[in-house]
Amino acid sequence: MRAKLAGATPCVGVFSKTLDSSFVEAAGLGGLDFIILDTEHGHASLETIHHHVRAAALVGMESIVRVKGVDAHAIAAALDSGAGGVQVPNIATPEQARAAVEAARFYPLGARGVCRFVRAARHGSLEKSAYFTAANEALLVLQVEGLEGVSNIDAILDVPGFDVLFIGPYDLSQSIGKPGEVDAPEIHELIGRIAAAAAAKDKALGIFCDTPEALARYWQEGVAYIAYSVDISIFSDAIRSILKSTNSIGA
């Protein structure tokens, strides 16, 4: 995934709220680079996350677990599953960014709780030093999605140890008093400020979008990590599209 992020072509994935690992497998078979298993706004249990991570690995797709916030136990548990990375929402200060790094990395990069009898370490069969080295290569994505985070963007970017700075347009719109208006000029201006700061610090940029037009725009702008919509919503949209086509035939 690190190699893909450094390439010329953006990585594209989806957020996932499904409880069925077949949907995760199908997403990988469809050609996505990654899938974000959402435990912030989704309701999958840790057991289900383990199954989803296996399904993603089966088809060569990277799995990223979004936790609810800067919670050291939740971050470690997500990585213990063998997921390729963890995504932490609502980062507003450099202190929060440092806490996320501390929770996601083993010594000397952090202070993640140690247990090698987990799936990520092949249930204890992986040689210890190999596990700790490989674990510190897991992708760490930090989300900035509010005005406080934007105001602290340079200080957040100066925190070492994370890989992608992710923009949450919907929460940004909430923070300026225009919830859901992700195409408001103020939101585009804030996204531009964040993108410019990330580029100046040579940090990979990520963003969420939910329209083909926005996806094409961010693709052309070279955003490295693009999360497009949500798996269950994509499925629902496809059903509506099919029914709309049949209605037009009947007319």
Name the residues annotated as catalytic: 41
Number of residues assigned to the chain: 251
CA distance 224 to 206: 6
- Taking a C-beta distance cutoff of 8 angstroms, is the pair 76, 113 a contact? yes
Q: Give the burial string for 8-24 (b: 16+ CB within 10 Å, else e).
A: eebbbbbbbbbebbebb
CA distance 67 to 116: 21
Within 8 A by CB and 6+ apart from 124, the residues are 116, 117
Q: Return the DSSP state at 186.
A: H
CA distance 67 to 65: 6
What would the two tokens of residue 20 be? 């069925």
In Å, the largest CA–CA distance within the chain is 67
CA distance 29 to 194: 33
End-to-end CA gap in the chain: 48
